[in-house]
Amino acid sequence: MSGPVPAVRIVVADDHQVVRTGFAELLGTQPDFEVLGTACDGAEAVRICRERQPDVVLMDVRMPGMDGIEATRQLAGPGQSSGPGPGGASRPGTASPPGGPRILILTTFDLDEYVYDALRAGASGFLLKDVTAERLFDAVRVVAAGDALLAPTVTRRLIGEFAQMRPGPDAAPVAALATLTPRETQVLRLVAEGLSNTEIAARLVVTEETVKTHVSRVLSKLGLRDRTQAVVAAYESGLVVPRSRDTP
């Protein structure tokens, strides 16, 4: 007989006290969440996360001193411990991704270059600060389970806007993409188009478990945390080309 599901451990980082207190109190209403603490800037967020090892961080992208991008890079970058899953247990059935806690970026604008940089740095998704309570709760549960928070239309628009303008040294190199099999490359393209595993399985006429295996191998070969970074890599490498703004 299985025991109760461990609570998702959360840290909230925002330089506005009303915002971070409001999010913390809202999250604290859920029986499966445990708010470990709050931070007023990126440096404090990094310190608290290394001390308390949360599963999920709500991270404001713009903060004085160390901003949310640098904090995300320090917490999610290579060489960081992947940390435990919710409640201290490893997530079953998945390989530990590189990096630390899953990070959800908080932002005022959806088409934001800072948010794009945070996604490149390892964030698993982003939320607008006027998000509804239910959407917030769902988002935290999604990333705590090890999934990326991808709102396909918004995320692809964001990535398509900035990927070709600002390719960086941490973009997936052509040599790494060359290690993918033709089927893995096909799956990566479909992930970048915003398709879910179920939709990819239907498109390729394979099982959803087969798709999950392909996605896992793509992430492993490219050294990526989750689907968000896979989408960024697909665009920055030129594997997928953003549609023209004039294209309907």
In tens, the pLDDT along 177-187 reads 889 999 999 99
pLDDT digits (tens, 9 = 90+) for 116-169: 888 888 898 888 889 899 999 999 998 898 777 765 556 667 776 776 665 555
Q: Is the pLDDT higher at 189 or at 146?
A: 189
User: Is the pLDDT assigned to residue 245 strictly greater than 70?
Assistant: no
The domain limits of the chain are 9-149, 171-236
* CA gyration radius, the chain: 18
What pLDDT was estimated at residue 233? 85
pLDDT digits (tens, 9 = 90+) for 25-39: 999 999 999 999 999
- DSSP summary character for residue 87: G
Categorize the per-residue pLDDT at 84 as very low, low, confident or very high, splitting at 50, 70 and 90.
very low
| pTM: predicted TM-score of the whole model, two decimal places | 0.75
Residues 6+ apart with CB under 8 A from 223: 78, 98, 176
Q: In the CATH scheme, what architecture does the domain 9-149 have?
A: 3-Layer(aba) Sandwich (3.40)
Contact 243, 194 (CB under 8 A): no
Strands (E), 26-182: 33-39, 56-60, 102-107, 125-128
Contact 200, 187 (CB under 8 A): yes
User: Is the pLDDT assigned to residue 15 strictly greater than 50?
Assistant: yes
Contact 98, 80 (CB under 8 A): yes
What's the average model confidence in pLDDT over 102-119?
A: 84
Helix-, strand-, coil-residue percentages of the chain, each rounded to 5: 45, 10, 45
What pLDDT was estimated at residue 19? 93
User: Is the pLDDT assigned to residue 234 strictly greater than 60?
Assistant: yes
Percent of the residues in the chain that have a pLDDT greater than 90, as a whole number: 48
User: What whole-number distance in Å separates Cα of residue 105 and Cα of residue 13?
Assistant: 10
In the predicted model, what is the mean pLDDT of the chain? 81
Contact 168, 126 (CB under 8 A): no
Residue-wise over 172-197: b if at least 16 C-beta within 10 A, else e? Answer: beeeebeebeeebbebbebbbebbeb
What pLDDT was estimated at residue 95? 33
Residue written as token pair 């099982």: 207
What pLDDT was estimated at residue 98? 46
Q: In the CATH scheme, what architecture does the domain 171-236 have?
A: Orthogonal Bundle (1.10)
